Structure 1
């Protein structure tokens, strides 16, 4: 065997070892490519469904936001009305409190007048009936 034949034999042996090592790698690459293709097909089906569901969720959130806005506006109107009622009650309270002294004085005067009138009528009836002095 000559030097050239030995070199060719070593090159052929190295090539055979290289091919032997590359075959499992190529088989794994082929499996990975097939799985990737299946994943892309699956995503092609599921992504549009997901997008449509996201649109539906977005519309629902928008509708709920509108309803919440309406509810807050109604609550605001209600609270404003309650505030006005509270102010009216406060005004009535102030009027009653401010005029309570005058009102109480009027009631006491009226009661005193009624007592005096009742006493007068009682005395007149006890003296002999309703006549005018004579």
Structure 2
């Protein structure tokens, strides 16, 4: 299994939560970190722009990458979303095993709740 870290930015918290939740719920990503307060400076349609964004960092595999891209494009509001994949050259064996197990669509899971030490139902009210 080849692990990837996939990055994308979004313009608001709701979209960050939606994309993160769907990537994990569909088992395309084992985990998605949402980084708040990212400042982006970029050129778009001939102008230099500056925006506050949310950075999503999804841990996944090369095999799931096409589904990650498809899900991001399906749910993203940007005309041209940033989707970057970085190969994970080094990681602990147990973390890589956890990624693989989390993405196993045949695995028997008790539930698909969000666990932050306490199980939280996976719905919009918790994101």
TM bucket (normalised to shorter chain) is under 0.3
Greater relative contact order (Cα < 8 A, sep 6+): 2
Question: Under a length normalisation based on structure 1, what TM-score does the superposition of the two structures give?
Answer: 0.14
> Hey, which of these two has a bigger chunk of strand by percent?
2
Between Structure 1 and Structure 2, the one with more helix by share is 1
Greater gyration radius: 1
What is the TM-score normalised by the length of structure 2?
Answer: 0.15
